[in-house]
Structure 1
Amino acid sequence: MERKIILLDEGWGHMQMGITKLKRILEGLPEPQFSSQEYMNLYTVIYNMCVQKPPHDYSEKLYNNYGDAFVEYIESTVLPSLREKHDEFMMRELVRRWSNHKLMVRWLTRFFQYLDRYYVCRNSKDPLKDAGLQRFKDHVYNEMNAKARDSLIALILREREGEQIDRALMKNVVDVFVEVGMGEMVNYEEEFEKHMVDDTGDYYSRKASIWIVEDSCPEYMMKAEEALRKEKERVSHYLHSGSEQKLLERVQQELLVVQGPQLLDKEGSGCRTLLRDDRVDDLSRMFRLYHKISQGLDPVAAMFKKHVTNEGTALVQQAEEATAAASGNKQGGGAGEPGLVFISKILELHDKYMGYVLSCFQNHSLFHKALKEAFEVFCNKSVAGYSSAELLATFCDSILKQMGASDQEAVEETLDKIVTVLAYFSDKDLFAEFCRKKLSRRLLMTPDDKNKNRADQLDNERMLLTKLKQQCGGQFTSKMEGMVTDITISRESEKNFKDYLGKDGTPKLELDFSVTVLTTGNWPSYKTSDLHLPEEMVKCIEVYKEYYDREKKHRKLSWIYSLGTCHVRGNFEPKPIEMHMSTYQAALLLLFNTSEKLSFSEILTQLNLTKDDVHRTLHSFSCAKYKILLKEPNTKTISPSDTFMFNSKFTDRNRKIRIPLPPLQDERKKVTEDVDKERKYTIDAALVRIMKSRKILGHQQLVTECLEQLQRTFKPDIKTIKRRIEDLITRDYLERDPENPNTFKYVA
């Protein structure tokens, strides 16, 4: 039996009845929902009309009628209802109509589902859902989006000014802009977001121009931070998440970038004032605001660097003035206490601003760099002719001398700070040499009463060397580590010598005598002398030589009397006093056991020392704190015509005293000269090392690589490098390229 042909008008008339019912339901009129039977009847009509043989296959007509059904409903009902409403009422109606339209698309898509299965696929048509939604976009959205956008932006402005708005409505309207794109964001971005962001920029531009005049920098930043927080909150409540970055960047641009120079430089409350007044919370807020902006932190870091540089330079000036005042009061002297105070303040300054870097600026590399560059400026300035490297070494020496067992942690913390600050010094090799000089004094010349815990002292020295080694490398500390090792070995050797003296048949010594044997290469160079020792000391030395020759047959001893120390008992009339002094001082003082009065020239002849050494030694006894010798004439200076007598009436409240020698005037100069000489060898070695690996290299590149290799230890002068290159050419290590004089070749 053949199926009955359904004509277009007949079938579409049946469908119109279903569509009319759907419209009534959407309009909220009393109408029962579709039953399963009704749905099946409508679906079957479409099916039958699509499977009929041509010319009764109405698939194309039905597809077109499907779209027309939406257009008719929109033109007759939807648009009139939207056109008569405004602002929020229009927005509510738009949301309702969009919701109804989606519902209508869902039902009609079900009725016309057979078209989607076959006709749409075979003829490359838009799916029914997309075609239905497109009708709303073409006929409703394109007409109403500008009004909806303006209404949205107006409500956002009202909310910014403190009014309460219907955020749910806002989100629903925004969703219309998003959903009508059917997976694409172009409608939302071009027709709403762009205008909304521009309006936001205009709003905050107006606000910023008022705030920058009326508010202080901290108040302005609080308002800016609050504005950014609210805009971010606004996105989370009703804007699309993709708008967040664009919106915040525009707010940052208007509030922080445009007003940045004026804000950061604001008189009385800008960045410099916040740094000066330690406004930690405000500085943290400044970092939070500007670190999200490309290059936003650059001016903050520049101000931070300048502020730290100014504070450090002020410390240098204070130290200069304090040193000048101290020198004026003492008629000479050196950096002394002002120099130590200067280094202490440098460490405090670094602690303070490193704290800023870690907390306020969240450990940002830009501020580490700014702090480093600032400290490099003033840490490499001299104070009253004293290099900062020497002052740092002196401070380190002072800390280690004062160290006690109870304050171990505090001292270790201070040493950590010293090593950290050392990184900013360009003359690290000069620091190392002064450190080596002072280490030798601590190891060799510490009085016994202060040296009861020798093992603890050596542990502390090793602790410092370990920290320096980690910071500057093994070569930096190798000689100093050798010095500590020498002392450790020497203590064992000293014990063996005492055991040797206790054996039968060994000469007995009248004095308590000990020897420290050192390796020449590890220690600073010291001047030797042919001091005429007292007989008691000569005998001790001969006994030790005999012992040492037995133990170390292939080693030669060189005696450095200037490093020796003695304990001498002075039988003064008021009371006996034990005096700790150098070997030079002891040899001179013992001359008065056999002579009541000696002239300068007699002392010079009997001791066989240089005039300078005798001058220093006599000064320590007759012109310094302890007047062990009386001088004629009684002046404060030593001259070759002076005569000296033992002061038998000398007394002191202590039973043990230490008599220091005046410092050598040229010792600092000698250290500097030695370092300069060593630098020449170091530069030569670096240049040869570079050329040996590269074979041929241009002048500028050679200088640059040399600077890079040496900057960990010191910063060589470019003129010095050029002179060393010329010297290496003279000595046939390098040669110039005949065709290009600025190119060098390595001579194998």
Structure 2
Amino acid sequence: MTMNERKTIDLEQGWEFMQKGITKLKNILEGLPEPQFSSEDYMMLYTYPFPYDIVLLHVTIYNMCTQKPPHDYSQQLYDKYRESFEEYITSTVLPSIREKHDEFMLRELVKRWANHKVMVRWLSRFFHYLDRYFIARRSLPPLNEVGLTCFRDLVYLELNGKVRDAVISLIDQEREGEQIDRALLKNVLDIFVEIGMGQMDHYENDFEDAMLKDTAAYYSRKASNWILEDSCPDYMLKAEECLKREKDRVSHYLHSSSEPKLLEKVQHELLSVYANQLLEKEHSGCHALLRDDKVEDLSRMFRLFSKIPKGLDPVSNIFKQHVTAEGTALVKQAEDAASNKKVCFYYGCFLLQFILFYFLICCIIAEKRDVVGLQEQVFVRKVIELHDKYLAYVNDCFQNHTLFHKSLKEAFEVFCNKGVAGSSSAELLATFCDNILKKGGSEKLSDEAIEETLEKVVKLLAYISDKDLFAEFYRKKLARRLLFDKSANDDHERSILTKLKQQCGGQFTSKMEGMVTDLTLARENQTSFEEYLSNNSNANPGIDLTVTVLTTGFWPSYKSFDLNLPAEMVKCVEVFREFYQTKTKHRKLTWIYSLGTCNLLGKFETRNTELIVTTYQASALLLFNSSDRLSYSEIMTQLNLTDDDVVRLLHSLSCANSPDKMRRIKIPLPPVDEKKKVIEDVDKDRRYAIDASIVRIMKSRKVLGHQQLVLECVEQLGRMFKPDFKAIKKRIEDLITRDYLERDKTNPNMFRYLA
């Protein structure tokens, strides 16, 4: 029979036939005896020969949809498709679910939902022609969506509240330690997701919101008891375990999108609500954990509180307070030790002054300086150890978090800028470095330990506001190490300069690097001088002479007096000047006699003794080659020195003594306190720096208010020192008088730059 000759099928007849196939499918789903559709049967729908009943279902639908109007029953079949689900759900599915409760209801629901999806899949295949043509042309919901919507409207909307409550009840049971069927919960919650057909509205609104409220209430009850009963570490252990279990729930049956919301609820109730109370627990809070070095508990605290908004702020503040207190205690300890040494020293001086006279008092002074120096070394070493300890906390316990680096920095800035026993932190650090780097220093370390220690010192320098003061003290001590051959290792000297350069910039170390370079060139220059002497028989200074030529701008400023040199030394100076002029005629030599040393052979009645003295001392002693007795005024006149210098000079020589067996003695000058001059030099440099900063700012801005000018100046200079507001104001006034700036005529707090 051709297509044109086929018999017209009316609606009732066709649907009666379709009902047979649908009934067969329902029987299969209900577990009633019925031959099932095999996958092979279904595949044969598209091959020949067709299984008779399946083929007729498809052919019937096809024919009823392709008959000429008014016998095209596409719309009616579309409606019948929906009615099939509605009838089955109403008559069979709903009653079977309603008669069960709690977990049994959930199991029945899961079973019915699984069956419903099977029914939708098969009926959609029976009515496939509708999906391909009729629905597509009319823009109607597809068959699969219609089938799922029926279950949603008739089953889900009625039962989702009961289902939700049953699921939450099971979750709470599990939280209390009971075993539950996690697979069942996973299948139930999948219904909330799948029923949304691509949207999460039903899962979120019908289940998740209530589940989150229940979670908050549950942990609120728990926390209110734990906070009273448990120590801070015990409480945190419980909180961490709860969070772990909630994440585990998500992985087993909750939807993944619930994880951040769920954890936020738990964190809020267990941590945010009780944060201050937990951290401030008297015997077990954050202060106690830091005090008792509870590294594992501190790590847990960081992990927990990093998850809540601003949760790390109070932890980092307590950390800062603790480190500040520890450092301040070190300062006080060092101050007390220095104070005790001072009392002992002066008492000793009183007992000995009638016995040992000035020379022995000088020895006591030197001893006192050694004791204080040792105390300074101990203090700096303890500060380094403190920094090592809490930097490890920052890196390990607090996972290198910037907030804790900031707290560590601010804490060390508080006590590292206090100073000890009248010595600034800048001086203490410079002295500490000097002891490490000079020969015979109190710090006996391996090369590796020296490098490590220098690295740590430079890190401490970052906390000191007066970096320029450190630079000047360090430069003074570096000069003495270099000039008097006191440096233990050139590599270490260069290494710390590299570290300082990385920390503070090239300008910070440029003069120091120049000093090291000068010494290298000076050694080469001395070799050339010795070759010059060997090649010029007339150029003979008469004595062994070593000259170190320095570049003025690199080195600290030294007093340069017109000392009247002895004739022996005058010839040395003339010979070297002639040599130096052969190398360059554009550089002027200025002789710094205060830095010179001489080895003299003293011929005494009992023995000859080699004397190691300064150039000043040597000049004074050589006067006695031509005179047995000289007055004070004669010595001062012949040497052309000031009264203070002659007093120091003669005291050192008159008090010098040595045991009988000594063949070689060193006669030091009494030490001069250079601290005052260093501070004066730094203050002078700061005035220049402030002037330069103000001029730079005003040159670029042209017009600027007083407050803004001060703030920008502080910001520019902050890397080297912390300028005082009064000092800046004073420099502004000075620049106005020198016509670099002027005040605005209408606003005295506004300045203008004068080109």
TM-score by length of 1: 0.91
Distance 1:540 1:354 in 2: 56
Distance 2:627 2:659 in 1: 21
1:98 and 2:106 correspond: no
Secondary structure class of the residue paired with 1:85: coil
Deviations 1:657-698 (A, max 9, x none): 544333223x21111111111111111111111222222223
Paired residue for 1:719?
Answer: 726
Distance 1:256 1:655 in 2: 78
Give, in angstroms, the shift of residue 445 of structure 1: 2.1
Distance 2:586 2:199 in 1: 92
Deviations 1:442-473 (A, max 9, x none): 11123xxx67x7xx43x332222222112111
1:671 and 2:678 correspond: yes
Give the direction of change, closer, same or farther, for the CA distance of 1:266–1:411 in structure 2 (3 Å limit): same
1:226 and 2:229 correspond: no
Distance 1:431 1:679 in 2: 13
Secondary structure class of the residue paired with 2:612: strand
Give, in angstroms, the shift of residue 502 of structure 1: 2.0
Give, in angstroms, the shift of residue 361 of structure 1: 1.3
Distance 1:216 1:210 in 2: 12
Give the direction of change, closer, same or farther, for the CA distance of 1:519–1:92 in structure 2 (3 Å limit): same
Paired residue for 1:646?
Answer: none
Distance 1:524 1:442 in 2: 13
Give, in angstroms, the shift of residue 340 of structure 1: 2.1
Aligned equivalent of 2:230, options 215, 239, 260: 215
The letter of the residue matching 2:287 is R
Distance 1:712 1:257 in 2: 39
Distance 2:416 2:334 in 1: 12
Give the unaligned 5+ runs of structure 1. 629-649
Paired residue for 1:427?
Answer: 466
1:389 and 2:426 correspond: yes
Paired residue for 1:686?
Answer: 693
Deviations 1:697-716 (A, max 9, x none): 23222222211111111111
Aligned equivalent of 2:95, options 75, 80, 87: 80
Query: What is the 5 A alignment of 1:231-630?
Result: 231-331=246-346, 335-402=372-439, 407-446=446-485, 456-457=489-490, 459-569=491-601, 578-590=610-622, 603-621=635-653, 627-628=656-657
Distance 1:437 1:470 in 2: 21
Give the direction of change, closer, same or farther, for the CA distance of 1:554–1:130 in structure 2 (3 Å limit): closer
Give, in angstroms, the shift of residue 592 of structure 1: 5.7
Give the direction of change, closer, same or farther, for the CA distance of 1:536–1:27 in structure 2 (3 Å limit): same
Deviations 1:286-326 (A, max 9, x none): 11112222221111111111111111111111121122122
Deviations 1:582-622 (A, max 9, x none): 22233344556666776655654554432322333344455
Deviations 1:159-183 (A, max 9, x none): 1111111111111011011111111
Q: Is the 8 A contact 1:309 1:377 kept in 2?
A: yes
Aligned residues: 716
The letter of the residue matching 1:381 is K
Distance 1:618 1:132 in 2: 116
CA RMSD of aligned residues (A): 2.3
Paired residue for 1:7?
Answer: 10
Give, in angstroms, the shift of residue 368 of structure 1: 1.2
Distance 1:732 1:387 in 2: 37
Aligned equivalent of 2:669, options 636, 661, 671: 661
TM-score by length of 2: 0.90
Distance 1:654 1:280 in 2: 59
Secondary structure class of the residue paired with 2:535: coil
Distance 1:230 1:425 in 2: 47
Give the direction of change, closer, same or farther, for the CA distance of 1:209–1:601 in structure 2 (3 Å limit): farther
1:175 and 2:190 correspond: yes
Percent identical among aligned pairs is 66
Distance 1:713 1:596 in 2: 55
Distance 2:71 2:379 in 1: 104
Q: Is the 8 A contact 1:403 1:411 kept in 2?
A: no
Secondary structure class of the residue paired with 1:426: coil
Q: Is the 8 A contact 1:323 1:338 kept in 2?
A: yes
Give the direction of change, closer, same or farther, for the CA distance of 1:90–1:508 in structure 2 (3 Å limit): same
Give the direction of change, closer, same or farther, for the CA distance of 1:268–1:599 in structure 2 (3 Å limit): farther
Distance 1:406 1:322 in 2: 25
The letter of the residue matching 2:223 is A
Q: Is the deviation greater in 7-16 or in 231-240?
A: 7-16
Distance 2:668 2:237 in 1: 62
Paired residue for 1:697?
Answer: 704
Distance 1:24 1:533 in 2: 128
Give the unaligned 5+ runs of structure 2. 42-50, 347-364
Paired residue for 2:163?
Answer: 148
Secondary structure class of the residue paired with 2:480: helix
Q: Is the 8 A contact 1:575 1:651 kept in 2?
A: no
Distance 1:172 1:652 in 2: 104
Secondary structure class of the residue paired with 2:668: coil
Distance 1:620 1:194 in 2: 91
Secondary structure class of the residue paired with 1:580: strand
Paired residue for 1:644?
Answer: none
1:32 and 2:35 correspond: yes
Give the direction of change, closer, same or farther, for the CA distance of 1:678–1:658 in structure 2 (3 Å limit): same
Paired residue for 1:23?
Answer: 26
Secondary structure class of the residue paired with 1:744: strand
Distance 2:730 2:466 in 1: 20
Paired residue for 1:638?
Answer: none
Query: What is the 5 A alignment of 1:644-659?
Result: 650-651=658-659, 656-659=664-667
Give the direction of change, closer, same or farther, for the CA distance of 1:403–1:141 in structure 2 (3 Å limit): farther
The letter of the residue matching 1:104 is M
Distance 1:87 1:202 in 2: 21
1:186 and 2:223 correspond: no
Deviations 1:617-646 (A, max 9, x none): 3444556xxx42xxxxxxxxxxxxxxxxxx
Give the direction of change, closer, same or farther, for the CA distance of 1:475–1:24 in structure 2 (3 Å limit): same
Give the direction of change, closer, same or farther, for the CA distance of 1:522–1:195 in structure 2 (3 Å limit): same
Q: Is the 8 A contact 1:500 1:506 kept in 2?
A: no
The letter of the residue matching 1:7 is D
Distance 1:657 1:347 in 2: 38
Distance 1:464 1:652 in 2: 44
Q: Is the 8 A contact 1:572 1:651 kept in 2?
A: no
Q: Is the 8 A contact 1:699 1:742 kept in 2?
A: yes
Secondary structure class of the residue paired with 2:688: helix
Give the direction of change, closer, same or farther, for the CA distance of 1:730–1:363 in structure 2 (3 Å limit): same
Q: Is the deviation greater in 737-746 or in 394-403?
A: 737-746
The letter of the residue matching 1:265 is E
Paired residue for 2:355?
Answer: none
